[in-house]
Structure 1
Amino acid sequence: MSSPSFQTILSGERQDVASRLLRLGLSALEPVYAGMMSLRNLGYDFSWLPTHAAPMPVISVGNITTGGTGKTPVVAWLTEALQTRGHQPALLSRGYKSLDETGNDEFRVLQLLCPGVPHLQCRDRVAGVQRLQQESAPSVVVLDDAFQHRRLKRDLDIVLIDATNPWGYGHVLPRGLLREPLRGLKRADAVLITRCDLVTSSNIASIQATLVRYTSSPVMRTRFLPLGLRSVDGTRRAIDDVTEIQTGSPHAFCGIGNPAAFASTLRQFLGRDVDVVPFPDHYHYQPSDFDRLQQANPHTSIWLTTLKDLVKLPDQAFGETPVLAIDIGIEFLDPPEPLLQLLPQTSCTTK
């Protein structure tokens, strides 16, 4: 659903007969899915569906669309902010497309970015928070990608909006990328607009005008900044120290929800365009993929990718050709205090 080729169909970029017919068929299914989500939300709004409270404050970081909005660096920033305030946070995620006990790509990245922070992957978030309480007794739990998971009550709902595609082509799944109708934004306690540096000020103003129609919660503009590079073993490196980038021919690949945003980050970081080979989101790489990339780009001096892709790669995936990931951090373009003021106090370890 989030592959780059399929998104060209959803966006209307492809105008061939087959694409038009597919959009027509998906449009017929859209009201069915939207209606189901609306009924489900009504069930929670009116307490027809049961919810469960955790023994500690719960913060959710989520989206209203599918695809990558930048949740992982936001979760890492939030975890550090909680630790700075004296909390002992734990992370809880669903474990989407995890192949084994080592966890999915987000899990492995957050292990790298949040060392020492307990992190559990569990499809049943209610059972997961109970297990975290038994195993590590955190003072607060951060839910990764849980805006639509309403069975577990939360004290703070943070919603991310990707400025490069804020409304998922204006349609609910499967015709677009919206997970639910926009009126669901009324549940958001804070909204972060990500990748604001990749669009015009008029685009941002339009997004803000739309948000005002659905939520009165604080809205903050943000962008992602390259912090440096990481090798497969997690070691940080400065770009100036990597001669393969400065004097060679770098190429890139990624398997994320928004490959165009990664290409923009590379352009910002390196000061030039780099060819990016896109794979499907959460892609599990095979040795044949590395062979194909090498054969198509035999003179590549270094391969660049995202942290989510790097943590899934074997050592020497490209033989003697090095591979490094761009390390990304979040920067607030508006004061973050409206969000920081919503964080639970250290003394509120139970409710």
Structure 2
Amino acid sequence: MSLVERIWWRPHAAPGETALLAPLVLAEGLFRVGAAARGALYDRGLLAQARAGVPVVSIGNVAVGGAGKTPAAIAVASRLAARGRRVAVLSRGYGASRADPRVVSDGVRTLLGADEAGDEPALLARRLPGVAVLCGPRRAALAAMAVATLGADALVLDDGFQHRALARDLDVVVLDAANPFGNGHLLPRGPNREPRGAIRRAGLVWLSRVDGADAAALTALRALALDATGRAPVESRHAPVDVVDGTLGRSLGLGALRGERVIAVSGLARPGAFLGTLAGLGAEVVAERAFPDHHRFTERELDDVLRAAEAARARVVMTEKDAVRLAPARAAEPRLCAVRIDAELVRGEAVLAEVLDAALTVHAGSSRSAG
């Protein structure tokens, strides 16, 4: 994470840090005008939205990176599949070597790895058996492919709040309850892609990592969600559900890291929560190697980390999203393991069921649902 990004995520930055971002005031203003103009064009129907013909649920956020969208997308896709829907997740495929519309998983087989698909689609394909995953820059094209070719009758749009070219029946906005808006500024002076008032477009606010938020902040966010959407938010925590080997194919059990010395390696927007997760699993973090979000680890970087682990008599631990980017030979390294995280709902299960059912009902007349 760069110095600028670290300052982004400090709600109460020191005067000296604030001064470092002062040259970005004009750029922020231009970004604000551009975002407002684009939103107004969509709001007034002057920019067209494609219709998929089946229910579309978008999972997105206001700030860039690290809010917990992927665990929320997994949770929503799983619930739609449990309702008998043939679900497809549509993702941009950030960091992939290809930019064409492509099928990562057809719901039966995983067809592409992280290099061609991007880490998040590859992870979604692994975590959602029976659910198709597609990626590419134009989500409307992916929607048409999913419906016509794969028979999907419900779509989950991953990171789609600002991608308004595809119409949706429900917008879910995910906010990290511990730090939802960083310093409050828009790009590039801060981490936000839109002002917080954009949440009024959403049908539901999802507060992630509520166990890391103080009571007063959580109360304020609940009020913000209720005011913006007319309903209480869904609340979740990032719950570790397993420790797996580097190939992500073998369970080691949640107790595998208890009392173990570990080096934490991550390519995340905000790696601090990962360190907290490791501490909660009883690991002793002896060193940390933090890389930029979606970072592709080089052979040299991995060699350096493994040498450091050997010298420290420690294991190397990654998040599942990081490990999915490893080449098979590297993933098989016995000193590597990964932590699997789920979004565990602690409040709002009934609210989530209500809005998902409402989104499905919009297309009830034309649904091909097996349920």
Displacement of 1:164 in angstroms is: 2.0
Match runs of 1:236-255 below 5 Å: 236-240=251-255, 242=256, 245-246=257-258, 248-255=260-267
d(CA) in 1 for partners of 2:142, 2:348: 33
Quote the offset at 1:322 in angstroms. 1.7
**Match in the other structure for 1:131:** 145
Q: Deviations over 1:107-151 (max 9, x none)?
A: 111111002321110111111111111211111011100000111
1:321 and 1:83, CA in 2 relative to 1: closer, same or farther beyond 3 A?
A: closer
Q: Give the superposition deviation at 1:221.
A: 1.8
5+ residue gaps in structure 1? none
Rate the CA distance shift 1:227–1:78 in 2: closer, same or farther, 3 A: same
**1:39 aligned residue:** 37
Change (3 A) 1:280 1:348: farther
Q: Do 2:264 and 2:318's aligned partners in 1 also have CA atoms closer than 8 Å? A: yes
Residues 160 and 194, structure 1, Cα contact 8 Å, conserved in 2: yes
> Of the candidates 160, 175, 181, which is equivalent to residue 146 of structure 1?
160
Residue 40 of structure 2 is aligned to residue 28 of structure 1: no
| Structure 1 partner of 2:314 | 301
Give the partner amino acid of 1:317: R
| Cα distance in 2 for residues equivalent to 1:229 and 1:329 | 12
Q: What is the match of residue 261 of structure 1?
A: 273
User: Shift in Å at residue 350 of structure 1?
Assistant: 4.3
Q: 1:213 deviation in Å?
A: 4.6
SS of the aligned residue for 1:172 comes to coil
Larger deviation, residues 255-264 vs 229-238: 229-238
1:341 maps onto 2:354 in alignment: yes
Aligned to 2:303: 291
Deviations 1:317-339 (A, max 9, x none): 38855211111111222131111
Aligned with residue 195 of structure 2, among 178, 181, 191: 181
The structure-2 alpha-carbon separation of the partners of 1:113 and 1:46, relative to structure 1 and needing over 3 Å to count, comes to same
- SS of the aligned residue for 2:276 comes to helix
The Cα offsets for residues 261-312 of structure 1, whole Å up to 9 and x where unpaired, read as: 1111112222655543210000011101112223444224311111111111
Deviation at 1:69, TM superposition (A): 1.1
Q: Deviation at 1:54?
A: 0.8
Does residue 1:194 correspond to 2:208, yes or no? yes
Contact 1:316–1:322 at 8 Å: present in 2 too? no
State the distance in 2 between where 1:315 and 1:119 align. Answer: 21
Amino acid paired to 2:195: P
What letter matches 1:34 in structure 2? R
Question: Does the CA contact (< 8 Å) of 1:266 and 1:274 recur in 2?
Answer: no
Provide the rounded CA distance (Å) in 2 between the counterparts of 1:318 and 1:54: 38
Matched, 1:229 2:236: no
Amino acid at match of 1:25: P
1:276 aligns with 2:288: yes
SS in 1 for 2:222: helix
Give the Cα–Cα distance (whole angstroms) in 2 for the partners of residues 83 and 289 of structure 1.
Answer: 39
Tell me, in whole angstroms, the C-alpha distance in 2 between the residues paired with 1:348 and 1:308. Answer: 38
Which residue pairs with 2:63 in the alignment?
Answer: 65
Q: Give yes or no for contact 1:290–1:318 (8 Å, CA) kept in 2.
A: no
For the residues of structure 1 that align with 2:144 and 2:339, how far apart are their CA atoms? 35
Higher mean alpha-carbon deviation, 130-139 vs 204-213, is at 204-213
CA distance in 2, matches of 1:116, 1:86: 11
| Offset of residue 33 of structure 1 | 0.5
Query: How far off is 1:21 after superposition?
Result: 4.7
Aligned counterpart, 2:4? 6
* Count of matched residue positions in the alignment of Structure 1 and Structure 2: 345
Q: 1:274 to 1:329 in 2, by over 3 A?
A: farther
Q: Verify the 8 A CA contact 2:59 2:69 in the aligned structure 1.
A: yes
Q: Kindly, what percent of the aligned residue pairs are identical? A: 29
Contact 2:317 2:338 in 1 (8 A): yes
How big is the shift at 1:31?
1.4
Alignment match of 2:217 (pick from 192, 197, 203): 203
- Does the 8 Å contact 2:42/2:48 carry over to 1? yes
**1:111 and 2:141 correspond:** no
Question: Matches of 1:318 and 1:156 in 2, distance apart?
Answer: 37
Q: When the two structures are superposed, what TM-score results if normalisation uses the length of structure 1? A: 0.91
* CA displacement at 1:218 relative to structure 2: 3.2
